[in-house]
Amino acid sequence: MIYNINFLAYAYDKGKSDTYASFLIPFTFFALLTNNNSHVEIIVNNINGFKKKYRNEIKILEEINNNFLIREPQFKPNRNIPNTYRFFEKPTIDSEYTYISDIDIMFLEDNIIPKYESFWPLNLPYNNILRVKNSVRLTGVHMVKTKKYYTKKLVMCQAKHYNLNKSGNDEIILGAMCREVFGLPNFKHRMRPIYGIHFSPNRGNNKRMALVTNKNYYEKYMDFKNKYKDLFDFDIFKKLTNQLLNQFIIKSP
């Protein structure tokens, strides 16, 4: 089966922390329920530990939508920073599009493919923007046309940059790979929407950046919460709800 879109969801936590792994089930839930014929490829270093810890959440999610796979990474951790490894992975699921994003984004916009197609950069197999002019740095939200992006040349480039084994910025490494294989988008291309709520652990009260969303996404989140009460009763969902209610700035559309 070929899916319309496959979301690559990679969580790498050091030690016993599960700061990022705790987002995987909610990320999967929202991605699957807002996108038709979609799939999520969950990547964790300790599959057994993840399945054991979240076995009840996984069971309920399977009953709602079981279009997800839990697998190990293709590259083992080395000196690269944790956020970089998602850009070294090649999906194992057949799909027209592959979406690599921050796993703390809960998607609440229906069917994002046509929206991305409406502002696709000319002659590139991926949709992203440059962070800064005269730089290779892209962003961590990376939509790609699967077959045209994951070419033999790109896969070889991924392995090369992984083997450099440097603790460099993940978005710069992504940009360097894209420049080498495909070229970079024109800086005039500035569309990089977040089609949902970004529950970043690095933003919020007493932090450099605030947590902000709009009333429409807030209401959609609450609709899901009311409809899927059993799932939202788990701590990993309660944490998101508590943050949304107490730390977010809710703006009118």
pLDDT digits (tens, 9 = 90+) for 143-168: 999 999 999 999 999 999 999 999 99
Residue 252 lies in a domain: no
pLDDT per residue over 54-82, tens digit each?
999 999 999 999 999 999 999 999 999 99
Residue 212 lies in a domain: no
Domain count, the chain: 1
Residue 234 lies in a domain: no
Other C-beta atoms closer than 10 Å to the C-beta of 183 total 11
Residues 6+ apart with CB under 8 A from 57: 25, 231, 234, 236
Other C-beta atoms closer than 10 Å to the C-beta of 241 total 13
Instruction: Give buried/exposed letters for 96-131 (b at 16+ CB in 10 A, else e).
Output: ebbbbbbbbbbbbbeebbeebeeebbeebbbbbbbb
Give the pair of three-digit tokens for residue 170.
């993940």
DSSP-derived secondary structure letter, 83: G
CATH of the domain at 65: 3.90.550
pLDDT per residue over 10-61, tens digit each?
999 877 788 899 999 999 999 999 999 999 999 999 999 999 999 999 999 9
Residue 100 lies in a domain: yes
Full residue range of the structural domain in which residue 17 is found? 3-200
Residue 210 lies in a domain: no
Residue 242 lies in a domain: no
Q: What pLDDT was estimated at residue 206? A: 74
Q: Of all helices (H) and strands (E), which one includes residue 145?
A: strand 142-145
Which of 187, 172, 185, 116 minimizes the C-alpha distance to 145? 116
Please tell me the distance from the alpha carbon of residue 202 to that of residue 178, in angstroms, as a whole number. 27
Other C-beta atoms closer than 10 Å to the C-beta of 36 total 11
Residue 224 lies in a domain: no
Q: What pLDDT was estimated at residue 76? A: 93
- Name the pTM for this structure: 0.96
Residue 35 lies in a domain: yes
Q: What pLDDT was estimated at residue 144? A: 98
Which of 84, 103, 56, 239 minimizes the C-alpha distance to 175? 84
